[in-house]
Amino acid sequence: MSDSGSIFSLALGLVLSGDAELWSIIALSLRVSLTAVALACLIGLPLGAFLAVVKFPGRDAVVALLNAFMGLPPVVVGLFVYLALSRSGPLGVLGLLYTPTAMIIAQTILVTPLIAALARQSMADLHVEYDELFRSLGLSMSRTIAALIWDGRYSLSTAALAGFGRAIAEVGAVIIVGGNIEHVTRVMTTAIALETSKGDLALAMALGLILITLALFVNSAVLTLNRTARRLAYA
């Protein structure tokens, strides 16, 4: 086995040389996770705003469940999606198992509670501030929710970025429902697991470097968004 220094050099070489296999894995990872986060936002943002605005019996229980689901283990989500999509499962007829679509479904389920819970908290704070004005104006529930989502867009962007961070970094769900098939469902995290077990540490390290860079990018974006929002008094 090479020493750490040479592995790092090889990894950097792979990244800089534009290695086709490496970049196809990165492209699929981004496609799957970005699509999953977009879908999770479509579901999670209105859901979070609804829970922040509308009082109904059992709302606290739903919120507690949502908060608990923020920490859903990816392998468990993967298992449920696998059972649903497997040939004998209720959605087996769709033939989606071991496709990027299955991975998108799994990550959407994984990330939606996180985005909805973060959105609910930030929408609840905003709603306290806007409540009397909106009731004075006689705003409908749909307009209230739309206004909260628009005015909370900066904090909601950070919720979406947190969701992306969770999706791009998880391995448990995508490896179960995607199967880590080369050029079909292999993404960064599953490739790292495979290449490490095979002993090809340079490729694994190259992918690891990309993941770390993405994590840094996400955190910087969150920080920048928050600062910009505060500076413009939109936070």
- Give the footprint of another protein on this chain (CB under 8 A): 129-130, 132-133, 135-138, 147, 151-152, 232-235
State in angstroms the smallest separation of the CB of 25 from another protein.
Answer: 40
Q: Residue 48 or residue 165: which is nearer to another protein going by CB?
A: 48
Name which of 18 and 138 has its Cβ closer to another protein: 138
Residue with tokens 């995508």: 174
Least spacing, CB of residue 145 vs another protein, in Å: 14
- Minimal distance in Å, beta carbon 233 to another protein? 4
The least CB distance from residue 130 to another protein, in Å, is 6
Output 76 or 137, the one with its CB closest to another protein: 137
Instruction: Output the six-digit token pair for 31.
Output: 């496609």
CA pair distance 105, 26, nearest whole angstrom: 19
How far is C-alpha 191 from the chain's CA centre?
19
Residues 115 and 39: their CA atoms lie apart, in Å, by: 11
Euclidean distance between CA atoms 177 and 102, whole angstroms:
6
Q: In terms of CB distance, is 217 or 234 closer to another protein?
A: 234
Q: What is the DSSP string of 122-135?
A: HHHHHHHHHHHHHH
